[in-house]
Amino acid sequence: MNDQDKKVAVVTGGSRGIGRAIVLALAEMGHDVVCNYRSGREAAEETAQLAEGFKGKVIPVKFDVADQGEVKSAFKEIIKERKRLDILVNNAGITRDNLIAMMKPDQWNDVLTTNLSGVFYCCQAVTRQMLKQRHGRIVNITSVVGFTGNAGQANYSAAKSGIVGLTRSLAKELASRNITVNAVAPGFIETDMTSDLPESAREAMLSQIPLARIGTPAEVAYAVKFLVSDEASYITGQVIHVNGGMFMG
């Protein structure tokens, strides 16, 4: 199989944490993966190095998902170069936590623009190509707090809940062309973000998890790997929860 025959995937926010695990899982499957990053070039290049020896290769590409112009340009270039785009995983996200009484408009807008509008921009950028191919897989990374809410995260919870509605609407729009759209909702996962939590906060979180442990980025990646596979071809508009039983819905 030459490079032009390989499936092409794009993973936003792919340079570390859950995004990195997804990039590596898809590359191991044999897909060529565009690893998007906004500022961490070294981390993105490290991700690419970790994939050396895999059947698929990892290509770091810089663009800000919150900037619609950058998103359009980046996807146009990817499609022009590879002549196809088979998989999109919307993983990029930020937090700007604050209690709502003290939350500044910028904190609200920054999170909604990156975490929700960014997903819309990327989905819109791939739709025409996937419709042309009559095949595609889109997986959006939401969060357990999109279902449970979380004090101090009204902005983040709203964005992640919005992703679920976007996922289901897009699934209905694209199903006739053999394009599936699903979401994965991680719970408490071991990442840079969670490793900085005080021990008391970690213990409080663990007490809410029936499996009594923190999840790993790889466990989230396994769910994504399934949803983009041929085995999941009859699954669309769904949310897979990867949270150790923290939320059951």
Q: Is 156 a catalytic residue?
A: yes
Q: Which residue has the tokens 């909604």?
A: 112
Q: Which residue has the tokens 């990374």?
A: 141
Q: Which of 167, 126, 120 is nearest to 147 (CA)?
A: 167
Question: In this structure, what token pair is assigned to residue 91?
Answer: 């993983």
The arrangement of strands across the sheet holding 8-11 comes to 58-62, 32-37, 8-11, 87-90, 136-141, 179-186, 239-242
Annotated catalytic residue: which of 37, 156, 222, 234? 156
Half-sphere exposure of 66 (CA within 13 A, CB side): 13
C-beta of residue 95 within 8 angstroms of C-beta of residue 111: yes
* Residues forming a β-bridge with 186: 242
The residues assigned a catalytic role are 156
